[in-house]
Amino acid sequence: MFIPDDVCDLVQIDLARVRALRAALTAPETVQTLADTFSVLGDPTRVRILDALSHGELCVCDLAAVLRLSQSAVSHQLRLLRGLRLVRPRRDGRVVFYSLDDQHIMAIFRQTLQHVEEDQSAKGATGARGAKGAEGRRR
């Protein structure tokens, strides 16, 4: 008979621990904003924009040229990123420059990039069998 590994064999609830954890959990509205942020970061074009901006402030024209996208496409993506305070604009006359909003965004970007690169290195070093083993360890 198959017994799943992700459920308890015995139902036993520690009410004190459950109450303490419920009190410590992030507020629902903050969880929603966090989920929205990860959702926005789930788009390759927006990640490329953040990558480019991690090297310094860029105007929309230069950003579009670097990424080989239209200014309209870049502006649309920047509007979404700006809405979640991931990037901030600075107007200089008729030119709008964008930069990452703060160092937290850089930290998220760098840590996630490091995680992805480490995972890719591990998969490359161990082959397909090792990748499956790494997935099992993450659970």
pLDDT tens-digit map of 65-74: 999 999 999 9
Q: How far apart are CA 52 and CA 54, in angstroms?
A: 5
Give whole-number Cα distances, 91 to 37, 45, 58, 71, 80, in Å: 24, 23, 11, 16, 18
What would the two tokens of residue 83 be? 């809405």
pLDDT the model gives residue 11: 83
What would the two tokens of residue 20 be? 């303490």
- Contacts with 85 (C-beta within 8 Å, 6 or more apart), sequence order: 101
Specify the pTM.
Answer: 0.73
What would the two tokens of residue 4 be? 């799943």
